Amino acid sequence: QSALAQPASVSGSPGQSITISCTGTNSDIGGYNYVSWYQQHPGKAPKLVIYEVSNRPSGVSNRFSGSKSGNAASLTISGLQAEDEADYYCTSYTTSSTYLFGTGTKVTVL
Amino acid sequence: QVQLQESGPGLVKPSQTLSLTCTVSGASILSGDYYWIWIRQHPGQGLEWVGYVYNSGSAYYNPSLRSRLTLSVDTSKNQFSLRVTSVTAADTAMYYCARVPIGSGSGRYFDLWGRGTLVTVSS
């Protein structure tokens, strides 16, 4: 199984919006609305920021939003803040009852 | 609140068996509709799912690890466990346990994570 494709890095200035893409196939992203996104700061466990494509867990800033079109999903962070600097991973449940993670994107706040 | 905590040896010799346990605290492992997943992260690398286990003991494994992997649940101890046989340096990683809601319509995401435990395979 190949990992979901994400850009290695994305950067933006404080206050700007950035979007991270996540590309899969019709056996994973395209198969279900089971895409989730995780934020990971250095030395910390990942944290759920988006689930089921576009839902935010309680306590996650509304600056985080998600969407999906066909076999690709995306995470948008609006009003970028210094605390958003982290690695971000998408994941999808697949039609084989397995999981695929994205390759990971390092977000840098300039 | 509900918490997950991984435990196990931090150092394992090549060809030996790696055993880790995740203890669920703050709630019964049987409460709610969840299954339990292991995820690992090689040093400086991305995330990789290892396998997941239902409270019934049924388990699904990453095909790349299936031949060496066993997952189990001990409801009396509120724990679930991972066992990897014949380890090599390639199994050196941070291992995380996490919880997956599986109620009707639930999207198979990982809503609660442990802090992780680093396992190094070395002689």
Q: What is the pLDDT of residue A91?
A: 98
Taking alpha carbons only, the member of A62, A89, A70 closest to residue A32 is A70
Give DSSP secondary structure letters for B19-82. Answer: EEEEEEESS-TTSSSEEEEEEEE-TTS-EEEEEEEETTS-EEE-TTTGGGEEEEEETTTTEEEE
Q: What is the mean pLDDT of residues A19-30?
A: 96
Q: Using CA atoms, how far apart are residues A96 and A13, in angstroms rounded to an integer?
A: 40
Pairwise CB contact (< 8 Å): B115 & A45? yes
Pairwise CB contact (< 8 Å): A47 & B113? yes
Q: What is the pLDDT of residue B32?
A: 74
Please list, in sequence order, all residues whose beta carbon lies within 8 angstroms of the beta carbon of residue B110, skipping any fewer than 6 positions away: A36, A38, A46, A48, A91, B37, B39, B98, B99, B100
- Predicted confidence (pLDDT) per residue in A38-81, tens digit: 999 999 999 999 999 999 999 999 999 999 999 999 999 999 99
- Count the Cβ atoms, other than its own, within 10 Å of residue A38: 27
Q: What is the pLDDT of residue B107?
A: 79
**Cα end-to-end span (Å), chain B:** 39
Residues B114/B73/B100/A85 CA torsion (nearest 10 deg):
20
Which amino acid is located at B10 in the chain? G
- Count the Cβ atoms, other than its own, within 10 Å of residue A18: 19
B60 vs chain A: nearest CA distance in angstroms?
8
Strand order in the sheet with A18-23: A18-23, A72-77, A64-69
Q: Determine contact: B51 vs chain A, CB below 8 A.
A: no
Q: What is the pLDDT of residue A6?
A: 98
Q: What is the DSSP code (8-state) at residue B114?
A: -
Q: Using CA atoms, how far apart are residues A107 and B3, in angstroms rounded to an integer?
A: 28
pLDDT tens-digit profile, chain B (123 residues)? 999 999 999 999 999 999 999 999 999 988 878 999 999 999 999 999 999 999 989 999 999 999 999 999 999 999 999 999 999 999 999 999 999 998 877 879 999 999 999 999 999
Q: Using CA atoms, how far apart are residues B110 and B99, in angstroms rounded to an integer?
A: 5
Average pLDDT, whole number, for chain A? Answer: 96
Q: Which residues of A touch B106 (CB under 8 A)?
A: 52
HSE-CB at A6 with a 13 A cutoff on CA atoms is 30
Whether residue A22 contacts residue A5, with contact meaning beta carbons closer than 8 Å, is answered with yes
Q: What is the pLDDT of residue A1?
A: 66
Q: Which residues of A touch B110 (CB under 8 A)?
A: 36, 38, 46, 48, 91
Taking alpha carbons only, the member of A75, A72, A74, A104 closest to residue A89 is A104
